[in-house]
Amino acid sequence: MAKPRRTVRDVDIEYEYVDDLGAVVRNARMRLGISQAELANLVKERETIIKKIEQGEFNPPLDLVRRLEKVLKVSLLQVVVEETPKPKTTQPPITDTYTLEDLLKKQQEKPR
Output the pLDDT for position 51. Answer: 97
Choose among 54, 68, 47: nearest CA to 21. Answer: 54
Tell which residue, 55, 36, 61, has the closest CA to residue 47: 36
Q: Could you tell me how many residues make up the chain?
A: 112
Architecture of the domain delimited by 2-86: Orthogonal Bundle (1.10)
> What is the distance between the alpha carbons of residues 92 and 74, in angstroms, rounded to a whole number?
52
Nearest CA among 77, 35, 72 for reference residue 59: 77
Quick one: three-class SS letters along 19-50? CCHHHHHHHHHHHHCCCHHHHHHHCCCCHHHH
DSSP 90: -
pTM for the model stands at: 0.62
Q: CA 49 → CA 22, 58, 71, 74, 107, distances in Å?
A: 11, 7, 16, 18, 81
- Encode the chain (112 residues) as per-residue pLDDT tens digits: 555 554 445 566 788 889 999 999 999 999 999 999 999 999 999 999 999 999 999 999 999 999 999 999 999 998 877 666 666 666 656 667 777 787 788 788 876 6
* Separation in Å, CA 9 to CA 6, 18, 57, 86: 10, 26, 35, 11
Residue 80: the pLDDT is 79
